[in-house]
Amino acid sequence: MKITVIGTGYLGATHAACMAELGHEVLGLDVDPDKIARLSAGSTPFYEPGLDELLVKHVVGHEGSTGRLRFTTSWEEVADFGDLHFVCVNTPQRHGEYACDMSYVESAIDSLAPLLDRPALVVGKSTVPVGSAARLAERLAVRSPAGEAVELAWNPEFLREGFAVKDTLRPDRLVVGVREEGGPAEQRLREVYAPLLDAGVPFLVADYPTAELVKTAANSFLATKISFINAMAEVCEAAGADVVRLSKALSYDDRIGGRFLNAGLGFGGGCLPKDIRAFMARAGELGADQALTFLREVDSINMRRRSRMVELARQQCGDGFLGRRIAVLGAAFKPDSDDVRDSPALNVAGQIQLQGGQVTVYDPKAMDNARKLFPALGFADSAVEAARGAHVVLHLTEWREFKEMDPAVLSEVVAERRILDGRNALDPELWRGAGWTYRALGRPS
């Protein structure tokens, strides 16, 4: 099939490459010529394992490529290319508010609709407030020359950064919201995803609002689970208990499970924080705000973990940061990503620097993005260089490189052997055995 993908950011670039991998002819569009040039050259402006390899495999012009994928800045070319258009643009948090900024989605619809003069299917994948699809379907019909012959479906994405290619090619489920169950839109999406359906991936068909709610409900549940174990970490610290052992005991309960039950510095990134806030805002607009008031505490617990890490670091520095060097290992909000949006690690680093600490940051992939966001911080080219002369080392993003560090190597360069494990991912006995003072969130000292 011929497919277009509108928006080639994290979601769009991944979706375009993976649709080519499934055998479709794909045309990706973005308004940023530099981004289009880079994607056409076979590389992404962000780090996602396996994605560059897929681009080289399929982008037109590369030796041995299938030629099934190319990119453009032309809306007219997109409209002429095919009749199935995926909208994959960003939906950030509105400035100064909790609500979702729908301007990019609306702009995409408004740019595409006037060019659709024949029957077509537009498929939204962006995370939007419930009720958006019905409004956008009407907007499409009004602004398109083909009127109601242009149909809208909503097909939310469930990508995890660091696993986006796998999550697209081997998803745990596909959800589509359509105007008419069993109608043409559903049948066309079944054709698009036929290789996945043949492999047994569940295909769930729903109305617009249910499909929209699946993504926000899933993210809210995940955020709640993470904040729950971090709330238990607060109790453990007060009671002298060990949250890691508590979590392990809870994980054996089939009703609870152990995934995402790891206490630490909390969640960040471009999805969970803004999605739960937008969900709260939308519930208020619908008159159901009391149903989601618990998410305010979920958000609050998450932010308190950052303040607690700063407090622990201050204690390790003798109750003050002035004249103290602090090494921060990690800048990305999670490993296997260079995404620093709402990064807990950089938030902690920034707070410490504002309080007088001399902070040096190292991350395997996110250094360029971190420098752009926090230019006043110090940066190093390795964990060893970041730790040189440090009075305390903070482990804040659980990259494998950090988990496999030899404490003896860092011992040779630090001013004091003190480490704070913000992710409960290091081996306490290994570090203590090497003469380090080891502290972690939710664990006894």
CATH of 2-206, one of 3.40.50.300, 3.40.50.11030, 3.40.50.720, 3.40.630.30: 3.40.50.720
Segment 431-440 shows an average pLDDT of 97
Residue with structure tokens 């939204």?
A: 124
Within a 13 Å sphere around the CA of 348, how many CA atoms are in the beta-carbon half? 39
Active-site positions read 271
pLDDT given for residue 445 in this prediction: 82
Average pLDDT, the chain: 97
Convert 41-76 to b/e letters by CB count within 10 Å (16 or more is b).
ebebebbbebbbebbbbbbeebeebeebbbbbeebe
pTM of the predicted protein model: 0.94
**pLDDT mean over 182-193:** 97
The residue-averaged pLDDT of 237-244 equals 96
Question: What is the CATH architecture assignment of 207-445?
Answer: 3-Layer(aba) Sandwich (3.40)
Question: What pLDDT is stored for residue 205 in this prediction?
Answer: 98
pLDDT at 159 over 90: yes
Query: For residue 158, what are the CA distances in angstroms to 15, 53, 62, 261, 383?
Result: 11, 21, 30, 19, 32
Residue ranges of the chain assigned to CATH 3.40.50.720: 2-206, 207-445
Reported as a single tens digit per residue, the pLDDT across 7-24 is: 999 999 999 999 999 999
* Res 125: pLDDT: 97
